A and B are shown apart, each in its own frame.
Chain A
Amino acid sequence: MRQPLRLRLVLRDLSTAAAFASMAISSQVPVWALVLFALALIVALTGRRPLARAPRLTALLLLPVAGLLYLAVASGQMDLVVAACSFAGIVAAQRLLSESTAATDGQVLLVGLLMIAGGAALSGELVFALCLLAFAVLASLSLGLAVVEAAVPPGEPVPVRAVMRPLARGTFVAVVGAALFFILIPRLSWNMGVRRASPGLGTATSGFSDTVRLGGSGTLKSNPRVVLRARLTPDPVDTEHLSAYWVGRTYDTFDGQEWSTIGAAKQRHRTRVTLRPGADKQVYQRIELLPAYGSRTLIALETPAKLGNALTHTPTGDRRTRLQELGGDELRFVDDGLGYSYEVYSLPPGTDTDPGRMNQTEADQLLALPENLDPRVEQLARRVVGDEKDPLAAAQKLSAWLQREYQYTLELSGDLADPLEDFLFVRKAGHCEHFATALTLMLRTLGFESRLATGFFGGERVGEEYIVRAGDAHAWTHVLVPGRGFITVDATPPAFRTNQSIQILESLVSLYEAIEGVWRTSVVDYSFRDQLDFMRGLSRPPRDPSSDEQRPSGPPARAWWTAGLVALGVYGLVRYLSRRPRRSPLGEATRLVDAVERQLTRAGLPPREGETLEDVSARFTRDAHPLGPTLAPLTRRYLEARFGQRPLESGERARMLEDLRRALDTWRQGSRSNAP
């Protein structure tokens, strides 16, 4: 038995790994399946096949695994698709460790195909595209080598170099063809069994919670993933970096360790929510929260007045969702989704605002201090502020002092009994939550109403939109100024308000996010409407509604180009078909045989069971039958016509049949006259 080509096996194993990775990136495949597959892959790549000696026994062991997975699905502990994917991974692992035969290789690659399909069902990530591409390339190379290896006689070398190039070219064409199919296959969906895809690459880290706890380390600040995209109207065209606060929610109660809100959630769900009266020159925002955001809290530029028209993005498309009001001016989407988009109207910065609807308890809470607050905090605040009576001026004094005297750092010592005391009097360094907490509480000790706000700060311009990263998460202070509403005062040094990620990492992630954005809009969210637009775009350029340009009379140049390309394609196809060797008129030759057999049967000389025309002709010749000389040239002409050497000429079939008919008549007459 020939030793299988090592390169082919390595390619096969790696293609299976790519297929498994397409499922694994969804983070839904259980750890035990991951570990088992990884071990099997490592062993297989070293060239060892330990299950080769007992393929049937190990295959039987898969049955209990299937049973356990079924039980897990039946008991609701595991999703059906996840269970199927896990089982496919285990089957692939078993096959990888079995002896390499043609059947095994085929099974490995087909299981890989199933895993790719499973990956498509589990994940919508850009990485899936890479896995799919890797699988397509590696599996094609492996299969191609297997085909050639099987055809090479034993003892001869497999022409690996000669095979690789055409295979790679073919794979490239297949991938291009896949893209064309993808664009053109009509998006007709029955929409009967829909799964929810994973939220994104890795876990979302910028999610909002009901509390803000001081302490820990500020790793979020170094996360460059994009969580929000917004299009603003009016568009600050020339502003590359916004210095804007994107508020998510506010907190009014501090217990010494963490911030929370006393306001209760409202049961009513609405499609539009008005938080405060509008004003002139409101800023309109069309906001998209991306999967990396990982929360259902709405974000809006300060100070939001109206929010609504929210859509939830799911793997099957977008659907409308309603909003729920919670305490702390927080709004949440009612439905879960991969991402969300919605519209917001915010008051322009500097506008006097309504503080919002607060009951007396909530209003009193704006001055509440933790029971164990260090008395030095108030002393410090008084020393800095002096006898300033204006809340905003006091807040600005404190803010400037904090920025001047305290250091910004993301390296903290972890959970402490009194993090504020540690920040103000011990370490004198902290992150935005420490600065904002210190400012808020110091204001409260002086009798100024204030609260903590969390959200994001900044915004980079990308194209016509602004993006906000997870590292832009920020906390600041709202000071209630009588007659002007809540005013934002930020105690964090300005240089540290936006994300603190490494520049090169930020660039790489930006690139990845841009490609992922294209992937999502062009692939994951590709729809029937996009198909129509694509087809329409082949003949008509998209119209700019803002342009007053008149439509040109007659078809546009694009239509001519498309028509030209189609004509060229048709011409090429016709040329190709006309260059192909002309097939013999199959029907003509077959009809000739049918007619001959019919005539022979009518004459009482039917072909025997399984006897071809050649056999009949040979028999007649052997038996010196009078019809032999007529049938032999006819049979020869049939074979010539059948195998493409000399097609039957026009009228030749009828002529030969006429000759046969005459010969049969003559034979019949001769038979009758010889009869006694």
Chain B
Amino acid sequence: MRARLRPPRTLKVTGMGRTYLVVTFGVGLGALNTGNNLLYLVLGLLLSVIILSGVLSERCLRDLSVRRVGNEGAFAGEPFAFRWALTRRQGHAFALTLSEVDVPLTGEGGVGHLPAGAEHVVRADLTAPRRGPVKLVGVRVTTTWPLGLFAKTRVFPLPGTLLVFPRRGFACATPEDAATGHVGEAHHPHRLDGTGDLAGLRELGEGEDARRVHWLKSASAGKLLKVEREREERRTYVLEVRAGLADEALERRCEEVAEQAHRLLEAGHEVGLELPGQRLRPGAGSGQERLLLRALAWVGFEEQREEAA
């Protein structure tokens, strides 16, 4: 409904602008009441400034073009970096703020001065409240130039989709058993010693087997260091989001699976994903994590995925 009612340019009076208008009205009344020409002079200046504000703000929003540069992983519930590239064909623009239109993304980016010709990348920290694809309709460019009395907005139609990954930091349960067995004595995922020569040391992660701590090096470094060997024990996990989950339960499961996958991949395991109507083969590394997060972000929004495709 909001989109329907929105004209190409919108003008909003700021708080100071409202007071300014009241003062203008008062001075006008005073001028009429007293016939004092100096009040007419002040009134003329106030009215002139109002018109000038309209003209200059309009000039600011003219000859602009916007494109989305993209973003690094957008996780629900936390700020993520988002960028727009702003170009002006001629003339200068001042005090522009950019945000996405009609989407539940909070935050905006700003630029103080935009000269003609050069492309300026505007960065903003946006926050998405929930997981899933966000259909982007356009970019809203607002300016309060020149005096901050009025905020003039122009919407640049720019369709697109932003995929918001599940929320991070959800306290998940221990992953289920590995799909393929281990080699060696250990039966617990934490007791994985690996084989071969010592390959290196790294800080012991949360939940990792304390028996792999290299105590001598840890004592000298002042922190717990874990031994890594040439052939690390790799396990393969296939995490699952069952069909039939909806709403909050589905959200929680997606967040849980995302967190589990993150931990397992961090630990060097291979992780696959079983989703309703889709299966991702197990894999390791950050690329696999991104694939898993994308797949989890689309869960429950399959029809939009088809549209987007």
Contact = CB atoms under 8 A, between A and B. Distances in A.
A190 B31 CA distance: 9
B220 interface: no
Contact of A182 (B40, B148, B155): B40
A151 B151 CA distance: 12
A515 to B, nearest CB: 16
A144 B34 CA distance: 32
A584 B110 CA distance: 28
A139 B19 CA distance: 15
Interface stretch (A116-124, A348-356, A478-486): A116-124
B138 A151 contact: no
Contacts of A586: 7-8
Interface string B98-122: 0000000000011111010000000
Contacts of A193: 33-34
Contact of B52 (A110, A148, A174): A174
A162 B49 contact: no
B217 to A, nearest CB: 40
Given A151-B143, A182-B37, A639-B157, 7 more contacts: A117-B26, A121-B36, A151-B97, A151-B112, A187-B40, A192-B34, A315-B35
A166 B52 contact: no
Contact of A110 (B23, B31, B39): B23
B33 A189 contact: yes
Contacts of A110: 16, 19-20, 23
A124 B38 CA distance: 7
B43 A185 contact: yes
A612 B1 contact: yes
A143 B147 contact: yes
B110 A162 contact: no
Contact of A162 (B33, B43, B109, B115): B115
A148 B39 contact: no
A595 to B, nearest CB: 13
Candidate in A113, A167, A316 with the most chain B CB atoms within 10 angstroms: A113
Contact of B145 (A136, A148, A152): A148
Contacts of A178: 41, 44-45, 47-48
A371 interface: no
Interface in B1-51: 1, 3-4, 7-8, 15-16, 19-20, 23, 26-27, 30-49, 51
A29 B256 CA distance: 71
Nearest to A607: B1
A189 B32 contact: yes
20 contacts: A106-B148, A110-B16, A119-B38, A132-B41, A144-B146, A152-B110, A153-B109, A177-B44, A181-B48, A182-B41, A182-B44, A187-B35, A191-B35, A194-B34, A524-B37, A590-B4, A618-B307, A639-B137, A643-B157, A644-B157
B95 interface: yes
Nearest to A103: B15
B36 A153 contact: no
Interface in B71-115: 92, 94-97, 109-113, 115
Nearest to A161: B113
A116 B42 contact: yes
B56 interface: yes
Nearest to A165: B92
B123 A113 contact: no
Given A132-B45, A612-B1, A190 B32 contact: yes
A316 B31 CA distance: 11
Contacts of A377: none
B206 interface: no
Interface string A375-416: 000000000000000000000000000000000000000000
User: What does DSSP make chain B's interface, helix, strand, loop or mixed?
Assistant: helix
A143 B148 contact: yes
Contacts, number: 207
A167 B38 contact: no
B260 interface: no
Interface in A164-219: 166-167, 170, 173-182, 185, 187-195
A186 B109 CA distance: 45
Nearest to B47: A181
A3 to B, nearest CB: 16
A68 interface: no
B303 interface: yes
When A and B form their complex, which 4 residue pairs have the shortest distance between CB atoms, in order from nearest? A189-B35, A177-B48, A181-B44, A643-B157
Candidate in B15, B42, B46, B115 with the most chain A CB atoms within 10 angstroms: B42
Contacts of A315: 34-36
Contact of B155 (A524, A525, A643): A643
B144 interface: yes
A114 B280 CA distance: 69
Interface of B: 1, 3-4, 7-8, 15-16, 19-20, 23, 26-27, 30-49, 51-52, 56, 92, 94-97, 109-113, 115, 123, 137-138, 143-148, 155, 157, 303-304, 307
Contacts of B115: 162
Contacts of B8: 583-584, 586, 643-644
A523 B144 CA distance: 33
A490 interface: no
Nearest to A317: B35
A312 B115 CA distance: 58
Contacts of A525: 37
A136 to B, nearest CB: 6
Nearest to A110: B19
A147 B15 CA distance: 13
A584 B7 CA distance: 9
Contact of A147 (B26, B109, B148, B155): B148
A525 to B, nearest CB: 7
Contact of A163 (B19, B31, B94, B110): B94
Nearest to A638: B4
Nearest to A154: B110
A315 B35 CA distance: 8
A110 to B, nearest CB: 5
A523 B50 CA distance: 22
B27 A173 contact: no
Contacts of A153: 109-111, 123
B51 A524 contact: no
A185 B40 contact: yes
A114 B20 CA distance: 10
A123 B37 CA distance: 11
B4 A159 contact: no
A134 interface: no
Nearest to B123: A153
Contacts of A114: 23
Nearest to A184: B44
A194 B35 contact: yes
Contacts of B155: 643
A523 B38 contact: yes
Contact of B34 (A121, A143, A152, A182): A121
B112 A158 contact: yes
Contacts of B97: 151
B196 to A, nearest CB: 48
Contacts of A433: none
Contacts of A106: 15-16, 19, 148
B48 A316 contact: no
A523 B41 contact: yes
Contacts of A144: 94, 145-147
Given A177-B51, A316-B34, A621-B303, A156 B40 contact: no
A176 B143 CA distance: 24
Contact of A113 (B7, B23, B137): B23
